[in-house]
Amino acid sequence: MTVLLEVCVDSADGLAAAIEGGAGRIELCSALELGGLTPLPSLMRIAARAPIPVYAMIRPHAGPFIFGGTDEEAMMLDIDAVRAAGLAGVVIGANRPDGTLDMPLIHRLKAHASGLWSTLHRAFDLVPDADQALEQAVELGVERILTSGCALKAADGLDTLKRLSARAAGRISIMPGSGIRPANVTAILQATGAREVHGSCSSPIESADLRAVAFGFEAKSANRTDSAVVREMCRAIASMER
């Protein structure tokens, strides 16, 4: 079984590290510490030179995935920027206040992204009925669902991930994500039968500029994409494939 590793990154350095480590696809974001927001057009243009497919997150602000009219306009313009940059796809999703998928809005986003590939993001993990949301995702025509199995971490949502993979029956890919590391990726893949997996492959980095931290220009510590962790994840996946 061949498994594709998707790595989420939020900088040009992170993009380079993911590619160097052997990632098979990139989810391009800004602000990964907030779960990922839409990347800047400049980063999109840099990422378009990557030798592997790059999908851009379409999420205009932090907080719940509940979007109004001005948010929708921003997301439509961001999709235009993705297309103009020459990226492969978009990562989209939205919820209603009751947690269900906002199907009319996602349909409009999907239609606007015609010609681009698409992933349904972790708005899926907030739904009250994952089985119903799976059928809605199939109806939307997205390629895959990025999900932790409606748990905080994929390792805690294995039963749901396994059930979703079985119910999907090849109609759509179920891609586990959240808290996936080299130490647990094999167990998660074996339990779910997934053919692709999503991770940040990051390591904590302490700021070297305490003055910048004091002024609030930089966090004291942050996670950064680490090519060594990407390679380790790839090795763990490869050992399972043999």
Tokens 């980063």, residue located: 43
Sort residue 39 into left (φ over 0), alpha (ψ -120 to 50) or beta.
Answer: beta
Q: Quick one: pLDDT at residue 143?
A: 98
Task: Indicate the average pLDDT of the chain.
Answer: 95
Helices (H), 193-226: 210-215
Q: Quick one: pLDDT at residue 217?
A: 79
Q: Is the whole-model pTM more than 0.85?
A: yes
Across the range 169-184, mean pLDDT stands at: 97
Across the range 28-40, mean pLDDT stands at: 96
Is 3.20.20.380 the CATH number for 4-241? Answer: yes
CB 7 within 8 A of CB 230: yes
Question: CA-to-CA distance for 137 and 128, rounded, in angstroms?
Answer: 14
- What are the φ and ψ backbone dihedral angles of 204, each rounded to 5 degrees? -70, 140
Query: What percentage of the chain carries pLDDT values higher than 70?
Result: 99
Q: Quick one: pLDDT at residue 206?
A: 83
User: How confident is residue 241, by pLDDT bands cut at 50, 70 and 90?
Assistant: low
> Please, what's the b/e burial string for 28-55 (b: 16 or more CB within 10 A of its CB; e: otherwise)?
bbbebeebbbbbebebbebbbebebebb
**Domain extent listing, the chain:** 4-241
Asked if the model's pLDDT at residue 209 lies above 80, the reply is no
Q: Quick one: pLDDT at residue 242?
A: 62
